[in-house]
Amino acid sequence: MILLRALLLGAAGLLAGAADTDARQEAWEQFRSLYAGGQYAEALPLARTIVELTGAAPEHELELPIALGNLGATQLRLGDPAGALASYRQALDLVETTQGIASRRLVGPLAGVGTAHAALGQHDEAALHLARALAVSRRADGLFNLEQMPLIELLVDAQMALGNWQLAERERIYALRVGEQNYGYDDPRTLPMVTRLARFYESLAQFAAARSLYLRLRDISMKESGLQNPTTIRAMLAIARTYRLQFTLDPESLLENAEVNPITGAPTLRQTEVDVGLLRPHRGGEQLLEKALAALRAAGDPPRELLAETLVEMGDWKTALGRTAEALPFYREGDTLTAATADRPQPGPLALPRQVFYRPPPASLRARKSPAGAVLVRRAEFSFTVAADGTTGDITVVSSEMGDGQRAQLQRALERALYSPRFEGGEPRATEGVHFTAQWYEEEETPAGESAPRQ
């Protein structure tokens, strides 16, 4: 919505002016005040009035797309994406007719049409219009203009919804390049772009790629105030987390003698296979957590939430290794910092059990990165008890969309899962009725005569 807010602000100057625009100007000022205050229902009639008044004055035809954009933005806020799409389409048609198909004034309406399509779940159409908006922006304002950043975010969301990971990755990398071109490689202003790309890779279980970016995040942020910088601490926690998650979800990639499958890019073992159960995460992760925790304690009055986050991450590290007794003191201290109180009614992260270690069957993940239209996701919901030591028991199947063999493999994996237990009164408690939905990804067969979707 950043781009849409900018569009709203930009309309003020265009709607002001001659005496015959007094009614429009008054309506605009009221609309802007209501919209800025979040009173969208009250702003909607004014947005319609501005459209009508502007449309009735031919000399103001250049302002009508902006008025329609304001109407579309208000309709989106009120949960009417279909109405917003109609408003934005009308604005787009007007700009194309009066300004041509390459005008930079197309960016706003194109972004609005794309956002409305996304809100309607029509992500393919959203991606098409947002990609066009980006092309116009880069042609009009330069390949590395900063104004395109909100558009990139919207396009990444659309591509992710479509399962087009490679296209989403391309835009994430491009956003970082924009930051580097404008600010420099190691400028702190690039940190938001670095962070988004790192989180993107982490969400796709590409932990080595994510970790390299978190390392860059740490190194840049340390230049400002060393370990006293909260951004540095959070980067250290993220690096440790990628080590833990890599050990949990992709243990084979930790093997020094792993080879890469030339077709899938996945690590494979050589002739002498190593028992995955004997693997351990990289010691550097735990060392970083220890260093971060020591720095926070030495600060005297560290940020409460950051200290709690570090303590919980250290507890998660111990739990992932099966050292639950060692994890409990860290969880207990973290709970004292985050437990709900009269002053802080929001429950903390340890108010309910949290899954820390769950290693799904490798066969269940083979098709996970296929395009959304080419993969079938089968689900099975389980109910179980999480004991005070974080282990699971009394597992039952609530519902299932998969075969007996698949369900049995997932249940065995869940039997080995480890959780951070629920804390109550400063102590870990057993929790019954915990639910978890496991997934099994399958590639859908392409009907004869049809080609498989491409990324």
Structure tokens at 423: 């804390």
Q: What is the CATH number of the domain that holds 124?
A: 1.25.40.10
Q: What is the CATH number of the domain that holds 437?
A: 3.30.2420.10
pLDDT at residue 365 tops 50: yes
Q: Which of 111, 144, 162 is at the close of a domain?
A: 162
Number of helices and strands in the chain (H, E): 16, 9
The whole domain housing 407 covers 354-443
What are the beta bridge partners of residue 434?
A: 384
* pLDDT number for residue 446: 53
Q: List, in order, residues 6 or more apart from 249 with CB less than 8 Å away.
A: 205, 359, 360
Please give the model's pTM, rounded to 2 decimal places. Answer: 0.83
* pLDDT number for residue 153: 97
The residue among 255 and 450 whose pLDDT is bigger is 255
| Range of weakest confidence among 119-133, 145-159, 298-312, 336-350 | 336-350
Rg (CA), the chain: 26
Indicate left, alpha or beta for 445 from its phi (over 0: left) and psi (-120 to 50: alpha): beta
Task: Give the residue-averaged pLDDT of 111-127.
Answer: 97
| CA-to-CA separations, 316 to 70, 211, 250, 310, in angstroms, rounded | 47, 18, 17, 10
The residue among 151 and 58 whose pLDDT is bigger is 151
* pLDDT number for residue 386: 98
Residue % of the chain over a pLDDT of 90: 71
Q: Which of 162, 196, 222 is at the close of a domain?
A: 162
Cβ atoms within 10 Å, residue 144: 14
CA angle (185 as vertex; 180, 188 as ends), nearest 5: 90
CA–CA distance, 180 with 175 (Å, rounded to integer): 9
CA–CA distance, 306 with 325 (Å, rounded to integer): 23
Task: Give the residue-averaged pLDDT of 183-205.
Answer: 95
> Using a CB cutoff of 8 Å and minimum separation of 24, what contacts does 180-189 make?
181/144, 182/144, 182/146, 186/219, 186/220, 186/223, 187/220, 188/220, 188/221, 188/223, 188/224
Is 262 among the domain residues? Answer: no
Structure tokens at 441: 């990804």
Structure tokens at 314: 């250290």
pLDDT at residue 259 tops 80: no
Strands 354-357 and 418-420: antiparallel
Is the distance from CB of 391 to CB of 418 less than 8 angstroms?
Answer: yes
Alpha-carbon dihedral angle through residues 342, 346, 352, 355, given to the nearest 10 degrees: -150
Q: Average pLDDT of the chain?
A: 87
Is 194 among the domain residues? Answer: no
In tens, the pLDDT along 431-444 reads 999 999 999 999 87
* pLDDT number for residue 261: 52
Is 2 among the domain residues? Answer: yes
Is 147 among the domain residues? Answer: yes
Is 394 among the domain residues? Answer: yes
Task: Give the residue-averaged pLDDT of 262-274.
Answer: 44
pLDDT at residue 2 tops 90: no
| Range of weakest confidence among 63-67, 290-294, 339-343 | 339-343
In tens, the pLDDT along 276-335 reads 444 567 788 999 999 999 999 998 889 999 999 999 999 999 999 999 999 999 999 999
Taking the CA atoms of 260, 276, 356 and 297 in sequence, report the sign of the dihedral they define.
negative
Cβ atoms within 10 Å, residue 248: 21
Provide DSSP, 246-275. HHHH-GGGG-TT-EE-TTT--EE--SS---
CA–CA distance, 316 with 226 (Å, rounded to integer): 25
Q: Which of 162, 194, 219 is at the close of a domain?
A: 162
* pLDDT number for residue 168: 96
* pLDDT number for residue 452: 41
Is 314 among the domain residues? Answer: no
Q: Nearest-CA neighbor of 206 among 256, 175, 246?
A: 246
- Tracing tokens 């009250």 back to the chain, one arrives at 42
Is 156 among the domain residues? Answer: yes
- The domain total for the chain is 2
CA–CA distance, 241 with 239 (Å, rounded to integer): 5
In tens, the pLDDT along 168-182 reads 999 999 999 999 999
The residue among 421 and 25 whose pLDDT is bigger is 421
Is 18 among the domain residues? Answer: yes
